[in-house]
């Protein structure tokens, strides 16, 4: 990808009615692929804890994990806007700490913007990070870091009062200066209402079609992570099966000495071989 997607490109897309495309990546090869696919925004999500590190949830992901993986993605991902996810408790204890950690993701990791989970409660934090010069993407609805407090990985905004709270969260984040908002696991009509209520792009994940763009966890979308597949995920391939078949075929070849063949082996001249044999006899 030759062009570099900017924050104003993301905001302009909503004005022009162009749907935004966002995916996650956690390493260099996937960063390169997202770049080649000309994805608008690439999130180095803390979902990395689950889909790459095999954790049960995202709460154990640290700043060091995030910086390590953001660096790898940024090396491959030159065109898309790269967003680094703030891990649990990196922005929850104080505004000072939040600014410090957001700055680390950008300075040490090299991402273009950060994302953090939370609505009205985090408005002062978001406003302070934005004021420090760091672009922030909000994340409301289902917020995986606090999923247990929300009753598990469930749809949010079920009744009118709960739905209104999410609308208020979006409005509060917009006032705090976010450049866009991820909206997760809410009824499709609520997604539409929120997208119409705010000027910043709403990027849905399980928020229906009438929002300003979509994001999926890449490892869910390509069938690489199969512990559970949320209802809102469309699987475009079953890459896990393709990789597994390749591993089994390799194992069979090695055991049968069908690999390596002559085309995978380095040659030695007959003369050198004779000399070597003399030297070792
Ligand atoms: O961590 C992540 O991958 C996310 C997406 C679900 C948006 O926050």
DSSP for 59-123, written as a single string: TT--HHHHHHHHHHHHHH-SSSEEEEEPPTTSSSS-HHHHHHHHHHIIIII--SEEEEEBSGGGH
Q: What is the dihedral of CA 174, 179, 180, 181, to 10 degrees?
A: -50
Please identify, by atom number, the ligand 1 atom nearest to the C-alpha of residue 46.
1
Cβ-contact 111, 82 below 8 angstroms: yes
Measured CA to CA, the distance from residue 96 to residue 227 in angstroms comes to 37
Residue 159 has pLDDT above 90, yes or no: yes
Token readout for 227 is 């512990």
Residue 2 has pLDDT above 60, yes or no: no
Phi, psi dihedral angles at 168 (to 5 degrees): -65, -40
Query: Quick one: average pLDDT of 13-23?
Result: 98
Please report the pLDDT score of residue 150 as a whole number: 79
| Alpha carbon nearest to ligand 1 atom 4, residue | 45
Q: Which residue of the set 16, 38, 184, 196 is catalytic? A: 184
> How many other CB atoms are there within 10 angstroms of residue 161's CB atom?
8
Tell me yes or no: is domain 7-237 CATH 3.20.20.60: yes
The band of 3, judged by pLDDT with boundaries at 50, 70 and 90, is: low
| Alpha carbon nearest to ligand 1 atom 3, residue | 45
227 or 274, which is more confident:
274
228 or 212, which is more confident:
212
Please identify, by atom number, the ligand 1 atom nearest to the C-alpha of residue 217.
3
> Partners of 202 in the beta sheet?
181
Query: Quick one: average pLDDT of 185-212?
Result: 98
Please identify, by atom number, the ligand 1 atom nearest to the C-alpha of residue 203.
7
| DSSP, res 234 | P
Residue 14 has pLDDT above 80, yes or no: yes
The band of 145, judged by pLDDT with boundaries at 50, 70 and 90, is: very high
Query: Quick one: average pLDDT of 249-271?
Result: 97
Straight-line distance from the first to the last Cα atom of the chain, in angstroms, rounded to the nearest whole number: 58
Which residues, 6+ apart, have CB-to-CB distance to 4 below 8 Å?
78, 79
Is the backbone peptide bond immediately before 260 cis, with ω within 30 degrees of 0? yes
Please identify, by atom number, the ligand 1 atom nearest to the C-alpha of residue 117.
8
Mutate which of 70, 86, 139 to test ligand 1's pocket (most atoms within 8 Å of Cβ)?
139
Burial 71-107 (b: 16+ CB within 10 A, else e): bbbbebbebbbbbbbbbbebbbeebeebbebbebbbe
| Alpha carbon nearest to ligand 1 atom 2, residue | 45
* Alpha helices (H) in 132-217, listed in sequence order: 160-176, 188-197
Residue 160 has pLDDT above 60, yes or no: yes
The question of whether 16 is a catalytic residue gets the answer no
Ligand 1: list residues with CB < 6 Å.
Answer: 24, 43, 45-47, 85, 139, 182, 205, 215, 217
Measured CA to CA, the distance from residue 82 to residue 109 in angstroms comes to 10
Query: Quick one: average pLDDT of 147-155?
Result: 83
Question: Could you tell me the distance, in angstroms and rounded to a whole number, from the CA of residue 45 to the centre of ligand 1?
Answer: 5
Please report the pLDDT score of residue 152 as a whole number: 80
Mutate which of 70, 205, 220, 229 to test ligand 1's pocket (most atoms within 8 Å of Cβ)?
205
Question: Could you tell me the distance, in angstroms and rounded to a whole number, from the CA of residue 181 to the centre of ligand 1?
Answer: 12
Give 275: exposed, middle or buried? Use CB within 10 Å, 0-12, 13-18, 19+: exposed
Sequence ranges of the domains in the chain: 7-237, 242-280
Please report the pLDDT score of residue 199 as a whole number: 98
Residue 1 has pLDDT above 60, yes or no: no
């Amino acid at each position: 990808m030759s062009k570099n997607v900017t924050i104003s490109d993301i905001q302009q897309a909503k004005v022009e009615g162009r749907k935004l495309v966002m995916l996650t990546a956690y390493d260099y090869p996937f960063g390169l692929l997202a770049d080649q696919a000309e994805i608008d925004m690439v999130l180095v999500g803390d979902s990395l804890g689950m889909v790459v590190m095999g954790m049960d949830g995202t709460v154990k992901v640290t700043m060091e994990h995030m910086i390590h993986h953001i660096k790898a993605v940024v090396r491959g991902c030159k065109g898309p806007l790269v967003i680094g996810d703030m891990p649990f408790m990196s922005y929850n204890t104080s505004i000072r700490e939040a600014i410090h950690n957001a700055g680390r993701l950008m300075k040490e990791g090299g991402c273009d913007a950060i994302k953090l989970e939370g609505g009205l409660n985090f408005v002062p934090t978001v406003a302070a990070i934005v004021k420090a010069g760091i672009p922030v993407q909000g994340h409301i609805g289902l917020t995986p870091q606090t999923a247990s407090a929300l009753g598990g990985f469930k749809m949010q905004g079920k009744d009118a009062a709960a739905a209104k709270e999410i609308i208020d969260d979006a409005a509060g984040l917009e006032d705090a200066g976010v450049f866009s908002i991820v909206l997760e696991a809410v009824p499709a009509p609520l997604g539409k209402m929120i997208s119409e209520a705010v000027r910043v792009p709403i990027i849905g994940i399980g928020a229906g079609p009438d929002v300003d763009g979509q994001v999926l966890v890449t490892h869910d979308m390509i069938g690489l992570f199969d512990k559970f597949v949320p209802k809102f995920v469309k699987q475009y391939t079953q890459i896990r099966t393709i990789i597994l078949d390749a591993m089994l075929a390799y194992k069979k070849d090695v055991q049968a000495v069908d690999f390596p063949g002559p085309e995978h082996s380095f040659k030695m001249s007959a003369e050198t071989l004779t000399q070597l044999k003399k030297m070792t006899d």
